[in-house]
């Protein structure tokens, strides 16, 4: 009959505030779900308005090669191609460089060198992206123009933006890849050495394959970051959708377009206003999928060695 005895010295004290606090904290945690749902809801709702506009149709949006809201042409391929160009260039620079830095940090650097390098990478990672944009505009573009000739390289071009995004994701790739490499058990390395492998052979034939899932998760996340990067492309890639494979020409990315349109005075409920949400939805779907896959892969990786 314990529950009838209130505040009995050995009974469970009735403490309503414990439950209240737990519920409150749970609601805080649930709030994060609300953000995701909010993002999805807003993007879908506004995109729906965009596609409900008589000038817009879904097929034209997905396959059209011209994006000119002024004359009612809404083909998003030029924006997508520019986004892919900058991201591809960024990955071509960022992945090998980041991976090599990570290997060096994890396998070769002395403690002293690591003590210097890690903070350097943290500083690089902490610099706001707008500063990278400024760097692209004032350093990378003039550099490219002096190497390849001013006639061949536009003042605004996707190559400059892409290279700088590569530098921007480098610290992230290096840090995450180092984590993946160092979490490979030491036994594997020792076994490789015992078989007579050199340290390089051990790295490339044993450690890298063993950390492949962690590494690919890193690369996917970096790609997602590069696709969503905004300020660098807004400053350096150019303003004006342009379907071109030439990285030395100006071309506007999805994020660059969103920033340019919303930075101006857009009236609500216009096609322009709704179009940035439709493009935002595309961006969200792409990056969300990449993040999910990345998380799944790194989950597999942790199961392997735990």
Q: Which residues between 39 and 68 bind other proteins (CB under 8 A)?
A: 39, 42-43, 46
Interface residue with other proteins among 5, 11, 21, 191 (CB under 8 A) is: 21
d(CA 222, CA 294): 10
Q: Closest Cα partner for 153 from 162, 234, 231, 227?
A: 162
Q: Whole-number minimum distance, CB 136 to other proteins, in Å?
A: 10
Of 218 and 242, the one with the shorter C-beta distance to other proteins is: 218
Interface residue with other proteins among 187, 263, 267, 303 (CB under 8 A) is: 263
Of 53 and 66, the one with the shorter C-beta distance to other proteins is: 53
- Binding to other proteins in span 71-110, by CB under 8 A: 96-97, 100-101, 103-105, 108-109
Task: Please report whether residue 195 would count as binding other proteins according to CB under 8 A.
Answer: no
Task: Please report whether residue 177 would count as binding other proteins according to CB under 8 A.
Answer: no
Q: Are 236 and 248 in contact (CB under 8 A)?
A: no
For residue 109, report the phi and psi dihedrals to the nearest 5 degrees.
-65, 140
Interface residue with other proteins among 8, 22, 44, 302 (CB under 8 A) is: 22
Q: Whole-number minimum distance, CB 33 to other proteins, in Å?
A: 6
Q: Whole-number minimum distance, CB 174 to other proteins, in Å?
A: 7
Of 78 and 280, the one with the shorter C-beta distance to other proteins is: 280
Interface residue with other proteins among 32, 110, 151, 267 (CB under 8 A) is: 32
Task: Please report whether residue 271 would count as binding other proteins according to CB under 8 A.
Answer: no
Of 153 and 286, the one with the shorter C-beta distance to other proteins is: 286
Q: Whole-number minimum distance, CB 228 to other proteins, in Å?
A: 2
In total, the chain counts a number of residues equal to: 306
Task: Please report whether residue 160 would count as binding other proteins according to CB under 8 A.
Answer: no
- Binding to other proteins in span 199-218, by CB under 8 A: 199-201, 203-204
Task: Please report whether residue 250 would count as binding other proteins according to CB under 8 A.
Answer: no
Interface residue with other proteins among 2, 128, 186, 306 (CB under 8 A) is: 128
Of 2 and 59, the one with the shorter C-beta distance to other proteins is: 2
* Residues ≥6 apart with Cβ < 8 Å to 11: 2, 3, 5
d(CA 93, CA 162): 9
């Amino acid at each position: 009959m314990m529950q009838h005895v209130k505040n009995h010295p050995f009974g469970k004290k009735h403490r309503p505030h414990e439950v209240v606090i737990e519920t409150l904290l749970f609601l805080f945690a649930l709030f994060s779900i609300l953000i995701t749902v909010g993002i999805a809801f807003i993007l879908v709702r506004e995109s729906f308005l965009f596609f409900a506009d008589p000038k817009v149709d879904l097929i034209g949006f997905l396959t059209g090669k011209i994006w000119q809201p002024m004359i009612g042409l809404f083909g998003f391929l030029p924006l997508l191609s520019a986004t892919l160009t900058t991201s591809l260039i960024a990955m071509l620079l960022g992945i090998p460089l980041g991976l090599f830095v990570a290997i060096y940090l994890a396998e070769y650097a002395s403690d002293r060198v690591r003590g210097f390098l890690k903070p350097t990478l943290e500083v690089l990672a902490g610099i706001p992206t707008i500063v990278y944009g400024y760097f692209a505009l004032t350093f990378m573009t003039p550099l490219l123009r002096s190497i390849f000739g001013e006639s061949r390289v536009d003042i605004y071009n996707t190559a400059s933006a892409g290279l700088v995004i590569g530098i921007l994701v480098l610290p992230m790739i290096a840090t995450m890849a180092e984590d993946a490499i160092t979490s490979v058990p030491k036994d594997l390395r020792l076994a490789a050495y015992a078989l007579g492998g050199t340290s390089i052979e051990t790295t490339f034939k044993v450690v890298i394959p063993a950390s492949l899932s962690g590494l690919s998760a890193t690369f996917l996340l970096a790609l997602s970051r590069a696709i969503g990067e905004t300020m660098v492309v807004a400053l350096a890639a150019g303003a004006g959708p342009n379907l071109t494979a030439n990285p030395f020409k100006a071309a506007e990315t999805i994020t660059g377009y969103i920033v340019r349109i919303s930075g101006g005075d857009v009236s609500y409920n216009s096609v322009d206003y709704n179009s940035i949400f439709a493009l935002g939805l595309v961006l969200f779907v792409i990056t969300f999928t990449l993040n999910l896959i990345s998380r799944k892969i790194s989950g597999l990786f942790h199961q392997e060695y735990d």
